[in-house]
């Protein structure tokens, strides 16, 4: 039986953890992380781990970037808090909004700040409804997301999320949120079906859903350029072009959820650049501050923003916002974080080290446990299977992925198990040597788990 420390006992007594089996947590206790340095974190026993998930897909500049600490300190001394309600503002929120809009190269026209990606997507839903009400389209309110997509955990954003654990026990999803197929070619492609034909079939399924629901009732389609928490699903060739064409055909807004893919993760500043997504709305978070402080942003194009602006004038206000919307300290930290990403060439580093990561992981394709290796830039997943030829998953699903996740800690490696897919998403500052170190530790882990099966 595991002997728990005093700190572990205090944790299980007083704290309910997100995405955690609370019963199991009381039995095994938490792993307590005390400090970070570069791509590494250290637990309270001094053990070092490579944080190959950048925390939660989110720490771009590493775990001890003093420039972000200093930026927060300077702003705390100057103006520790002020709001952006009722015609008030402050310099950091102005500068960050300008930086973000300009980074879209004319695609977006304004920014609205929230505290998290979940709040941002909740805000998107309200904006989409507000927009259509302003246009007199009171029935055009349904939003289509995808199975295995991830868009947050508020009541509304969790309804967009297409993962069963986010619905089960919560009476979700809400009826206005619909889901279409996940574009995972390895799992969903038909025998003999080309990748482009698969993309066409996925798009036809989307159009069929729109027609079943009624185009006059469907307001928006939301998707991650590359799906993250659903298993790092890279879209098939031509998928995003075809999806956008269907959406434009029926006057359906396109929402790009860039919470994971924004700020260099795919080797481009935004994931939308990589897949030529011309979204009406973009959602940003995580790497916007490297998660040193909570912040998210909703970017709107002029088509949407002009209608919302006009409606706020007719109603007397845009009746939505958060106490910390555009908080001066978080926006100041975000500005410095963007400066670091630019000055250190971290987008380019993600592209170059990402090639090393993708190549090194694909060398594992012949491993008896590996069914598929997928990813792009500095995000990847290795899907483990019971039988390579038939692609048969393990039973119970997720059992081997959990074993790999746990065993990796023994080798100083933090990854993420998504059922039986092992995800990688290291900080953007990573070097090629550190990428190879991740893969070496993973191979050792994989071999050890294979011997136990």
pLDDT digits (tens, 9 = 90+) for 430-446: 999 999 999 999 999 99
Q: What is the pLDDT of residue 137?
A: 98
Q: Tell me how crowded residue 390 is: count the other CB atoms within 10 A of its CB.
A: 9
Q: Is the pLDDT of residue 340 over 90?
A: yes
Domains 31-61+345-452 and 68-343 belong to one CATH topology: no
Please, which pLDDT band fits residue 179 given cuts at 50, 70 and 90?
very high
Nearest to 132 by CA among 220, 213, 206: 220
Residue 432: its pLDDT value, please?
A: 98
Threshold 0.95, pTM exceeds: yes
347-385 pLDDT per residue, tens: 999 999 999 999 999 999 999 999 999 999 999 999 999
- The gap from C-alpha 10 to its chain's centroid, in whole angstroms, comes to 31
Distance (Å, whole) CA 283 – CA 300:
9
Q: Is the peptide bond before 372 cis (omega within 30 degrees of 0)?
A: no
The predicted structure's pLDDT at residue 411: 98
Which strands make up the sheet holding 48-51, listed edge to edge?
33-37, 40-43, 48-51, 413-414
In words, the CATH class of domain 68-343 is: alpha beta
When pLDDT is cut at 50, 70 and 90, the band that residue 129 belongs to is: very high
Mean pLDDT of the residues in the chain = 98
The full set of domain ranges for the chain reads 31-61+345-452, 68-343
Q: How many residues are listed for the chain in this entry?
A: 453
Residue 95's nearest CA partner among 332, 379, 409, 378 is 332
Nearest Cα neighbor of 159 from 172, 142, 171 is 172
Query: Does the pLDDT of residue 178 top 60, yes or no?
Result: yes
Average pLDDT over residues 319-347: 98
Q: How many percent of the chain have pLDDT more than 70? A: 100
The model's confidence at residue 202, banded by pLDDT at 50, 70 and 90, is very high
Look up residue 127 and give its two tokens. 């904006």
pLDDT at 363: 98
With respect to CATH, is domain 31-61+345-452 assigned 3.90.1150.10? yes
8 Å CB contact between 300 and 127: yes
Residue 342 pLDDT grade (very low, low, confident, very high; cuts 50, 70, 90): very high
Residue 1 predicted with pLDDT over 70: no
Structure confidence by residue, pLDDT tens digits, 255-303: 999 999 999 999 999 999 999 999 999 999 999 999 999 999 999 999 9
The confidence band for 244, taking pLDDT boundaries of 50, 70 and 90, is very high
**What is the structure's pLDDT at 204?**
98
Neighbours of 224 (CB within 10 A): 24
Average pLDDT over residues 151-167: 98
Q: What is the mean pLDDT of residues 214-221?
A: 98
């Amino acid at each position: 039986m595991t002997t728990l420390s005093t700190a572990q006992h205090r944790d299980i007594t007083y704290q309910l953890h997100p995405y955690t089996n609370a019963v199991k947590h009381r039995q095994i206790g938490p792993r307590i992380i005390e400090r970070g340095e570069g791509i590494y974190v250290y637990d309270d026993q001094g053990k070092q781990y490579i944080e190959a998930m950048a925390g939660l897909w989110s720490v771009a500049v590493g775990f001890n970037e003093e420039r972000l600490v200093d930026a927060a300190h300077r702003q705390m001394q100057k103006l520790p808090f002020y709001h952006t309600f009722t015609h008030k503002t402050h310099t950091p929120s102005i500068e960050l909004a300008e930086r973000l809009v300009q980074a879209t190269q004319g695609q977006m026209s304004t920014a609205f700040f929230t505290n998290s990606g979940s709040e941002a997507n909740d805000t998107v839903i309200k904006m989409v409804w507000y927009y259509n009400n302003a246009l007199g389209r009171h029935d055009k309110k349904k939003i289509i997301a995808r199975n295995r997509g991830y868009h947050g955990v508020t009541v509304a954003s969790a309804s967009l999320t297409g993962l069963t654990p986010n619905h089960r026990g919560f009476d979700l999803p809400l009826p206005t949120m619909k889901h279409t197929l996940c574009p995972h070619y390895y799992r969903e492609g038909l025998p003999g079906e080309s990748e482009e034909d698969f993309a066409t079939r996925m798009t036809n399924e989307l159009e069929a859903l729109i027609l079943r629901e009624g185009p006059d009732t469907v307001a928006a389609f939301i998707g991650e350029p590359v799906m993250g928490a659903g298993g790092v699903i890279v879209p098939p060739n031509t998928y995003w072009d075809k999806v956008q064409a269907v959406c434009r055909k029926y006057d359906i807004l396109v929402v790009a959820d860039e919470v994971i893919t924004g700020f260099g993760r795919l080797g481009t500043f935004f994931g939308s650049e990589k897949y030529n997504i011309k979204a009406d709305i973009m959602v940003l978070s995580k790497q916007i501050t490297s998660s040193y402080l909570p912040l998210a942003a909703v970017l709107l194009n002029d088509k949407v923003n002009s209608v919302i602006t006009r409606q706020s004038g007719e109603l007397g206000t845009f009746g939505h916002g958060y106490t910390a919307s555009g908080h001066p300290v978080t926006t100041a930290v975000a500005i410095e974080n963007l400066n670091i990403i630019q000055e250190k060439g971290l987008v380019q580093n993600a592209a170059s080290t990402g090639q090393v990561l993708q190549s090194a992981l694909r060398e594992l394709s012949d491993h008896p446990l590996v069914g598929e290796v997928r990813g792009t830039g500095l995000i990847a997943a290795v899907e483990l299977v019971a039988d390579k030829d038939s692609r048969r998953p393990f039973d119970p699903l997720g059992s081997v992925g959990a074993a790999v996740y746990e065993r990796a800690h023994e080798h100083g490696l933090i990854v993420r198990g998504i059922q039986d897919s092992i995800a990688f998403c290291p900080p953007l500052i990573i070097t090629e040597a550190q990428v190879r170190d991740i893969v070496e530790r993973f191979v050792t882990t994989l071999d050890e788990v294979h011997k136990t099966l």
